[in-house]
Amino acid sequence: MLCSACMKKKKVGLYLDAGPACGGTYQYNHLMLEALMQLPASEYEPVVFYGSPHWQSLLEKNQIRGQLIQVPKIWQKMAGLWRRLKFPLSFWHHFAKWGHPLARAMLKEQCSLWIFPSQDAYAYLMPVPSLAAVHDLMHRYETRFPEVGAKKEYARREYHYQNTCKWAKGILVDSPLGKEQAMESYQITANACHVLPYIANRYIVQIRPSIDFDQKYSLPKKYLFYPAQFWQHKNHENLLKAVAICRQTIPDIQLVLVGSPKNHYQQVIELIKELKLEANVHILGLVDEQDIPEFYRRARALIMPTFFGPTNIPPLEAFALECPVAISDIYGMKSQLGDAALFFNPLDVKQISETINLLWLDDSLGAELKNKGKTHHENKGFSQFNVHFQKIMEDVLFKKYRT
């Protein structure tokens, strides 16, 4: 219960700094924006800044007042140099107050809290009280992947998360396991670490594909779907090997891949040729945001052999769009999805192929997974997310006044 002293309306800011190419981080920015705008207007006044011009049309469409703050390259370079040299951030905060355009704009708003959902450095570079997201700490738990475990990248991430956890007023994590890992890694107190489980964005069910969808993509009538940037940890390699096994008994097996080229893209292309899967695998690159839901709707199933967790957003999107799900049995995935998905060992190509066979051939299983996924989505949707979010706002802003 909140006492009368803390009932004064609080101004809360949100900084959006991720575009569609950022995958799950971009989806999380959407969730934060929706949740912020649903806070009781009698208690909260939202302020939205954005660093990517992509957000302007979305904010205007939803009649949300936002301000574009583009940081000059000179300030970006100075901040990068400051971090590389590991100068004290307390000095940077004092310096930024007087010249950094984003810092000055944020201070001018006099918000009680700024939310940073993109895992960006502004969560600790800006001299404002912050609530910062830590989506995963896989650089500590999956060091075999160079995109997170290479020496320089590991050091960069360690500096980033150490300072995020040191300077932020609160930390947002995706799951109890995410909280456990954050506390274990950076000695965060339990009260400062807040679990806010991912959900599918509401807009993913509402938006419709572009008029020329069929002309743009020419999708097969029946296919498995994997939306993922081509990082090594996304495990396209074992998925392709599994598809090659399945093709021996299912010659018309089809797999559709969408996502930006990353460090493992060329190896994926070469493996497709080596396995002679050119007629079975369709790589469409980064597709339009409004078209992604239609890929789920038409897919036989989502197949996701990732090595990263603790949890993930795509299976929740699939649930919302009544698309069956099969995913890696890693970290917190079973806790997140329960019995609404099939699980497999992402290292076991044979097990992945057996899962694909089930998804492709068993219509009754597909129908069962659709129903379970739909129920999961309905039981853990936006209303529940908003309740959690508002509770976190109260804890971060008012906890010292609680009675």
Domains detected in the chain: 4-198+381-401 (3.40.50.2000), 203-379 (3.40.50.2000)
- CB under 8 Å to 158, separation ≥6 — which residues? 139
Alpha helices in 100-207 (DSSP H): 101-109, 122-125, 138-141, 146-149, 151-167, 176-186, 203-206
DSSP-derived letter for residue 258 is E
* Predicted pLDDT at 401: 35
Q: Tokens at residue 63, please?
A: 């009649």
Q: Which pLDDT value is given to residue 403?
A: 27
Q: What digits encode the pLDDT tens for the residues 350-394?
A: 999 999 999 999 999 999 999 999 999 999 888 889 999 999 999
Query: Residue 102 and residue 110: Cα distance in Å, rounded?
Result: 13
Instruction: Respond yes or no on whether the N-terminal peptide bond of residue 129 is cis (omega within 30° of 0).
Output: no
Q: Which residues of the chain register pLDDT less than 70?
A: 1-7, 21, 399-403
pLDDT at 6: 52
CB 279 within 8 Å of CB 289: no
pLDDT in tens, 153-201: 999 999 999 999 999 999 999 999 999 999 999 989 999 999 999 999 8
pLDDT of 201 reads 85
